[in-house]
Amino acid sequence: MIHVVESLDPAVVKMDIRDLNVYYGSFHAIKNASLEVADRKVTALIGPSGCGKSTFIRALNRMHDLTPEARVTGTVSLDGTNIYDQSVDPVVVRHRVGMVFQRPNPFPKSIFENVVYGPKTHGERNRNELMACAERSLRRAALWDEVKDRLFKSALDLSGGQQQRLCIARVLAVEPEVILMDEPASALDPIATSKIEDLIGELKKDYTVVIVTHSMQQAARISDLTAFFLLGELIEVGTTSDIFTRPKDRRTEDYITGRYG
Amino acid sequence: MSEATLSLEAVRARSARGVRARRAADRLATGLLWTAAISVVLLLAFFVGYIFYLGVGAISWQFLTAPPSEVSAGGGIGPEIYNSFYILILTLIFTAPIAISAGIYLQEYAKPGAFRSLVQFSAESLATVPSIVMGLFGLLVFVYYFGWHFSALGGALTLTILNLPALMRVSQEALASVPSTLREASMALGATKWTTITRAVLPSAVGPLTTGIVLIAGRIFGETAALIYTAGVSVAAGKGAYDLSPFRPAETLAVHVWYTHAESVVPDVARIGNGSALVLLAMVLLFNVGARIVGRFLTIRFTGKA
Amino acid sequence: MALASPGRLHAAAVRAHRTEFVARTLLRAASAFVVFAIVALIVYLASEGTKLFTHDHVSPLLFLFSPTFNPDANAPGSLVFIVGSLAITLFAILVGGPFGIAVGVFLSELAPRGVVAAMKPAIEVLVGIPSVVYGWIGLTLLVPLIRTVTGSNGFGLLAAGVVLSVMILPTVITLSEDALRAVPGSLREGSLAMGATRWQTIWNVLLPAAGSGLTVALILGIARAIGETMAVQLVIGNAAVLPSGLLSPAAALPTEIVMDMSGAQQGSLLSHALFSMALLLLLIAMALILAVRFALRKRM
């Protein structure tokens, strides 16, 4: 049973997840989760480790297609179309729904090549277009000033925080509508983390963000809506202030107050 | 009473003797193992040094470029060196696309099942076939059945089949050395599997892949048994020895070492054999050393680091 | 911005999927070729290798067990070669096997990282040395040495056995080292924590635990030895007689093939006999593969 504070106005629902179940072999990882993701808002997914937050978010861009033992049932609708529909191309889905991973994973190529990887694979050849795209994406990821003089040097020379912002720029370069972030700052130091958090605050003006975080304080700082997961079930979802000050479910309250975690 | 004589000191003394004995055995074993390891290195150094010592007197520009002689002294190995490289390049041209493709398929695409097991078993089987047997297969197919008689092409195709498993293994290991996070990142950006392989995985795998190819090239260069009855033991006379056509007998340097001793009637067998062995060994060593250097260079060039 | 327009994106995706399909098909074809190659090899060799029995009506029992190799009299008994092969292989595995495992143990358990890194290229070079070069060293150094020490003419099983022992070392070393490294560290720690010395740990715990891997190392060493042609041919003496001792000149299956094939007319009895020997070698090789699979399946 999930408690939803109020059902969102359909006009602002970007992704509508209904009765999502994810199985790894016989292990039932996500149990009947339903969630509405609001357009141009930050939705945080919180819960103790192993509760399925990462599994849930990977269902939103069909990353489970890459795992042979994984099975997904239910619907995940993007602007009204179920992305798991037979006629939908996962390649196109991942263009519209981008993902940033927990550990920065830049390709062992130059900064420029990393950023334009997406557009290049989607067919863009024009050098000027690519340069413009790279600058745009790096600016939006708040990285341009730091790398503009070494665009063609290896991305692996950047610091951890810079690499993660590069990964964000890489995602922005394909012009997604939704950005999924799986604990994007957990491998970073506090200063780099706060830069990422500021960046998310800027990004939500143009993009829908869904972020998995193991830090309640981070969720409280940056998200508009919060969903609480426990053992594969979505327990409660609501505005961040409501979840943290007036949780409806006892389990949510226990987690918030630190009974377990 | 007898139990009382088993005092604590006696037990401790016996245990101490046991410990001393075990420690002595440990030291002896350690010494033996170190000796074994050092002997292997010394053996290698000795072999290399010995061949160099034997053959260095035979090396001259004339030796390296002149054609072999059938009956008189003074023959050289020029055409044989040419044929060794010719067959090497031809073999790699055939082996690389097939083996790397199969390696990519097994490593990146194939789901566990009948086809995958069949391919892997076939590769294992091919790897265990003795090279002389492979040579006889080549004789049957290329020399007899296709009617090519002894030919460089027949030799190269035989060596291709011989080396498929090795290059497949090298490809698979090179691909496995690329972390899966790279593939994830690429797929999450909307790339297909093949695009991910060509644009993200292979560039990172280029270093170990090249090292492996060059090492295999060294083995191809030294191959003998599979070539004797496919590419033959002779070279054409005069300028014809440096023919670009693959349809002609092509004795390689390695085969020449054997042929000189086994069948040749020239009076300076020892000199030619020593010199050929030296050149052969020197080339193989070059391949070995070059493999690492090229591999490291390519890794840095294509990935910018490590 | 042009990039995001749905039409362009869909077109690019369609192209990418088409490339994917073509690529996947080609990769599959290459993999199928590998299967085709071994099947063709088996079929061709089985066909030619049984002509001795089907066309020339030589009895397989004669071929396998008669000690007289006389193809001109329709009596190509290959026992001498089979015995020769078995003898030198046995020698190689008895000498090179323990030696190789010892070095494998050294690399896995004793050697500091720098020594391991230094020895790896050395072993790689040993693998790379062509068989004819090993044979040449045997011919010019080992055979005269045996001659002066024992008074025999130097060629024979001993020379071939020694050469083979050295040649299988890299195979046995590398596979033994891998097998030992695969043993979990917890076994080592447990043994040492009970007060056992390092050697006791190796002998009582690690070697048994790595048993199946070490067996595979030895089996593949045998496979290498039994198929080796050039090095053996240069030192074994090439006498088609049953060896009477380590110092007697002998012959092995691969060496007989390489020696007599040049004089064998296509389709002659001698040629068929040699192909039957090749088929025998192929069957032995396949049996060894099955032995490896069996050894690995027994792994706990």
Q: What's the token pair of residue A166?
A: 């590069």
* Whether residue B200 is found in the same domain as residue B149: yes
* Whether residue B27 is found in the same domain as residue B136: no
Look-up: residue for tokens 């089996």?
C219
For residues A75-99, average pLDDT: 92
Predicted confidence at residue A8, as pLDDT, reads 63
Question: A124 to chain C: which residues are within 8 Å by CB?
Answer: 3
Distance from CA of B29 to the nearest CA of C (A): 7
Distance from CA of A259 to the nearest CA of B (A): 34
Q: Which helix (H) or strand (E) holds A32?
A: strand A27-38
Distance from CA of C226 to the nearest CA of B (A): 8
* Whether residue B17 is found in the same domain as residue B123: no
- How far is C205 from C188, CA to CA, in rounded Å? 8
Question: B280 to chain C: which residues are within 8 Å by CB?
Answer: 130, 132-133
In a mutational test of the B interface, the residue from A91, A97, A107 whose CB has the highest number of chain B CBs within 10 Å is A107
A108 has pLDDT over 50: yes
Confidence band (pLDDT; 50, 70, 90) for C1? very low
Query: Are A89 and C13 spatial neighbours (Cβ–Cβ below 8 Å)?
Result: yes
Can you spell out the DSSP letters for A72-99?
A: EEEEEEETTEETTSTT--HHHHHHHEEE
Domain residue limits at A66:
3-103+177-256
For residues A227-237, average pLDDT: 92
pLDDT in tens, B102-120: 999 999 998 889 999 999 9
Number of domains in chain B: 2
The answer to whether C4 contacts A175, with C-beta atoms less than 8 Å apart, is: yes
Among the residues of chain A, which ranges form H helices?
Answer: 53-58, 90-96, 111-115, 117-121, 127-140, 144-147, 160-172, 190-203, 216-222, 240-245, 250-256
Q: Which CATH number belongs to the domain containing residue A190 in this structure?
A: 3.40.50.300
Among the residues of B105-237, which ranges form H helices?
Answer: 114-128, 131-138, 152-176, 180-188, 193-196, 202-222, 225-228
* Whether residue B133 is found in the same domain as residue B96: yes
Q: What's the token pair of residue A214?
A: 């193991």
> For chain C, first and last CA: distance in Å?
60
Mean pLDDT of chain A: 90
Confidence band (pLDDT; 50, 70, 90) for B304? low
Predicted confidence at residue C3, as pLDDT, reads 43
Name the residue facing A95 among C1, C9, C11 (closest C-beta). C9
Confidence band (pLDDT; 50, 70, 90) for B26? confident
Question: A122 to chain C: which residues are within 8 Å by CB?
Answer: 3, 8-9, 12-13
A4 has pLDDT over 80: no
* Whether residue B134 is found in the same domain as residue B28: no
Between the ranges B54-68, B255-269, C27-41, C203-217, where is the mean pLDDT highest? C27-41
- How far is A200 from A179, CA to CA, in rounded Å? 10
Confidence band (pLDDT; 50, 70, 90) for A10? low
Question: B191 to chain A: which residues are within 8 Å by CB?
Answer: 91, 117-118, 121
The answer to whether C15 contacts A122, with C-beta atoms less than 8 Å apart, is: no
A111 has pLDDT over 90: yes
The answer to whether A123 contacts C10, with C-beta atoms less than 8 Å apart, is: no
For residues A169-187, average pLDDT: 93
What is the 3 state secondary structure string of C141-154? Answer: HHHHHHHHHHCCCC
Chain B residues whose C-beta is within 8 A of a chain A C-beta are 111, 181-192, 195, 199-200, 203-204, 302-306
pLDDT in tens, B196-254: 999 999 999 999 999 999 999 999 999 999 999 999 988 877 777 788 888 999 999 99
Q: Which residue has the higher pLDDT, C141 or A12?
A: C141
Predicted confidence at residue B82, as pLDDT, reads 93
Confidence band (pLDDT; 50, 70, 90) for A84? very high
- Cβ-proximal residues to C98 (8 Å cutoff; 6+ apart), any chain: none
The answer to whether A94 contacts B189, with C-beta atoms less than 8 Å apart, is: yes
Distance from CA of B291 to the nearest CA of A (A): 22
- How far is C159 from C135, CA to CA, in rounded Å? 10
The answer to whether C17 contacts A89, with C-beta atoms less than 8 Å apart, is: yes
B299 has pLDDT over 90: no
Q: How far is CA C263 from CA A154, B170, C52, C269, C276, in A?
A: 62, 39, 17, 12, 16
Query: Are A165 and A141 spatial neighbours (Cβ–Cβ below 8 Å)?
Result: yes
Distance from CA of A121 to the nearest CA of C (A): 8
Q: Which helix (H) or strand (E) holds A211?
A: strand A208-212
For residues C66-92, average pLDDT: 92
Beta bridge partners of A42: A209
Question: B200 to chain A: which residues are within 8 Å by CB?
Answer: 107, 117
Question: A91 to chain C: which residues are within 8 Å by CB?
Answer: 13, 16-17
B305 has pLDDT over 90: no
Nearest CA in chain A to C7: A92
Look-up: residue for tokens 């997914």?
A45
For residues A231-253, average pLDDT: 90
The answer to whether C1 contacts A175, with C-beta atoms less than 8 Å apart, is: yes
Chains near C, with 3+ CB pairs < 8 A?
Answer: A, B
Distance from CA of C245 to the nearest CA of B (A): 24
* Whether residue B47 is found in the same domain as residue B65: no
Q: Which CATH number belongs to the domain containing residue B166 in this structure?
A: 1.10.3720.10
* Whether residue B131 is found in the same domain as residue B33: no
Predicted confidence at residue B244, as pLDDT, reads 87
Q: How far is CA C197 from CA A91, B35, C111, C283, in A?
A: 58, 19, 16, 44
pLDDT above 90: percentage of residues in chain C: 67
Q: What is the strand order of the sheet A81-82 is part of?
A: A27-38, A13-24, A70-78, A81-82
Query: Are C251 and C81 spatial neighbours (Cβ–Cβ below 8 Å)?
Result: yes
**Cα pseudo-dihedral C47, C50, C55, C56, rounded to 10:** 150
Name the residue facing A119 among C3, C10, C13 (closest C-beta). C3
Cα A169 to the center of its chain, rounded Å: 14
Q: What's the token pair of residue A133?
A: 């795209």
Mean pLDDT of chain C: 91
Query: Are A77 and B167 spatial neighbours (Cβ–Cβ below 8 Å)?
Result: no
* Identity of residue C6: P
Nearest CA in chain B to A107: B182
Q: Which residues of A72-102 are buried (b: 16+ CB within 10 A; e: fewer)?
A: bebbbbbeeeebbeeeebbbbbbbbbbbbbb
Maximum distance among all Cα pairs of chain B, rounded to whole angstroms: 101
Distance from CA of A91 to the nearest CA of B (A): 5
- How far is C129 from B280, CA to CA, in rounded Å? 9
For the ranges B103-107, B112-116, C144-148, C294-298, the lowest mean pLDDT is seen at C294-298
The answer to whether B187 contacts A110, with C-beta atoms less than 8 Å apart, is: no
C300 has pLDDT over 50: no
Predicted confidence at residue C2, as pLDDT, reads 36
For the ranges B149-163, C98-112, C182-196, C268-282, the lowest mean pLDDT is seen at C182-196
Between the ranges B66-75, C25-34, C112-121, where is the mean pLDDT highest? C25-34
Q: Kindly tell me the burial class for residue A11, based on how many C-beta atoms sit within 10 Å of its own C-beta (0-12, 13-18, 19 or more).
A: exposed
Q: What is the strand order of the sheet A42-46 is part of?
A: A3-4, A233-239, A225-230, A42-46, A208-212, A178-182, A97-100
Nearest CA in chain B to A118: B189
For residues A187-202, average pLDDT: 91
Number of domains in chain A: 1
- How far is A167 from A182, CA to CA, in rounded Å? 12
Query: Are B242 and B160 spatial neighbours (Cβ–Cβ below 8 Å)?
Result: no
Nearest CA in chain B to A96: B190
Please give the CATH number for the structural domain made up of C62-297: 1.10.3720.10
**Touching check for C12 and chain A: CB below 8 Å?**
yes
**Touching check for C7 and chain A: CB below 8 Å?**
no
Confidence band (pLDDT; 50, 70, 90) for B306? very low
Q: Kindly tell me the burial class for residue B38, based on how many C-beta atoms sit within 10 Å of its own C-beta (0-12, 13-18, 19 or more).
A: middle
pLDDT in tens, C12-57: 888 889 999 999 999 999 999 999 999 999 999 999 999 999 998 8
- How far is C70 from C73, CA to CA, in rounded Å? 6
Q: Supply the DSSP symbol for A47.
A: -
Cα A25 to the center of its chain, rounded Å: 25
Domain residue limits at B41:
2-56
The answer to whether B225 contacts C131, with C-beta atoms less than 8 Å apart, is: yes
* Whether residue B107 is found in the same domain as residue B42: no
Distance from CA of B1 to the nearest CA of C (A): 32
Predicted confidence at residue C12, as pLDDT, reads 82
**A212: in domain:** yes
The answer to whether C110 contacts B33, with C-beta atoms less than 8 Å apart, is: yes
Predicted confidence at residue B163, as pLDDT, reads 97
3-state secondary structure of B192: coil
The answer to whether A175 contacts C12, with C-beta atoms less than 8 Å apart, is: no
* Whether residue B67 is found in the same domain as residue B156: yes
pLDDT in tens, B159-187: 999 999 999 999 999 999 999 999 999 99
The pTM is what?
0.89
Query: Are C203 and C210 spatial neighbours (Cβ–Cβ below 8 Å)?
Result: no
Confidence band (pLDDT; 50, 70, 90) for C178? very high
The answer to whether A171 contacts B204, with C-beta atoms less than 8 Å apart, is: no
Name the residue facing A91 among C3, C8, C13 (closest C-beta). C13
B86 has pLDDT over 70: yes
A3 has pLDDT over 70: no
Predicted confidence at residue B9, as pLDDT, reads 80
Mean pLDDT of chain B: 90
Predicted confidence at residue B3, as pLDDT, reads 55
**A128: in domain:** no
The answer to whether A129 contacts C3, with C-beta atoms less than 8 Å apart, is: yes
What is the 3 state secondary structure string of B205-263? Answer: HHHHHHHHHHHHHHHHHHCCHHHHCCCCCCCCCHHHHHCCCCCCCCCCHHHHHHHHHHC
Q: Which helix (H) or strand (E) holds A28?
A: strand A27-38
Name the residue facing A107 among B182, B188, B195 (closest C-beta). B182
- How far is C230 from B258, CA to CA, in rounded Å? 7
CB pairs under 8 A between A and C: 32
* Whether residue B36 is found in the same domain as residue B118: no
Predicted confidence at residue C9, as pLDDT, reads 73
- How far is B279 from A257, CA to CA, in rounded Å? 78
pLDDT above 70: percentage of residues in chain A: 95
